[in-house]
Amino acid sequence: MDVLDQLNLFNTLAPYEPTVIGTPPLNIDIDTSDIDIACTAPTLPEFVSAVTVAYSDLDNFSSEYFQIRDEPAARCVFNFGGWEIELFCQTIPIEEQWGVRHFKIEKNLLQMNPKLSEQVIKLKRSGLNTEEAFASILGLAGDPFEAVLTLESLGQSELADLILQ
């Protein structure tokens, strides 16, 4: 994405393994979508400090610490190039973070059935978030964030059966 290149984001945040997730790379973004980047760091204050040094002069910069699914996390948000950019960080490995796991599942589903994208976009425009949209389309019960993760344990033929119903 050009905007991330303009920010030199991947070089600046290289120690934190920046990984683009979210809707733009899946081509299911809507007008209100942001660019989400997952990161990992030995400590959250180290990450927030590095991001603050690099990007705090950009529009609407903010940072916060919080808990998500019983794991400490940090988020830094700012605007650049017409996008809201959200940098999300935890001390757990990138591949274990829920956002990255959701992204991989959603990418796989869209590759298996590209027609899902139209349905997801329609539901997102109606106010659902991405995981809620996928859960609704696929008839997944319960918490949509947890329900989408249950798809990790399915094989490709089981996923195909689910998305082609």
Q: List pLDDT tens digits, range 1-54.
A: 689 999 999 999 999 999 999 999 999 999 999 999 999 999 999 999 999 999
Q: Residue 99's pLDDT is what?
A: 94
Distance from first CA to last CA of the chain, Å, rounded?
34
Q: What would the CATH number be for the domain defined by 2-92?
A: 3.30.460.10
Place of tokens 């089981």: 158
Q: Which of 97, 129, 98 is nearest to 28 (CA)?
A: 129
List b or e across 92-116, with b for residues whose CB sees 16 or more CB atoms inside 10 angstroms.
eebeebbbbbbbebbebbbeebeeb
Q: Residue 165's pLDDT is what?
A: 60
Parallel, antiparallel, or unpaired for β 19-21 and 35-40?
antiparallel
0.85 cut: is pTM over it? yes
Is residue 155 classed as helix, strand or coil in its secondary structure? coil
Q: Residue 27's pLDDT is what?
A: 94
**Higher pLDDT among residues 96 and 162, named by residue:** 96
> Is 155 buried (19+), middle (13-18) or exposed (0-12) by CB count in 10 A?
exposed
Domain residue limits, the chain: 2-92, 99-163
- Return mean pLDDT, the chain: 94
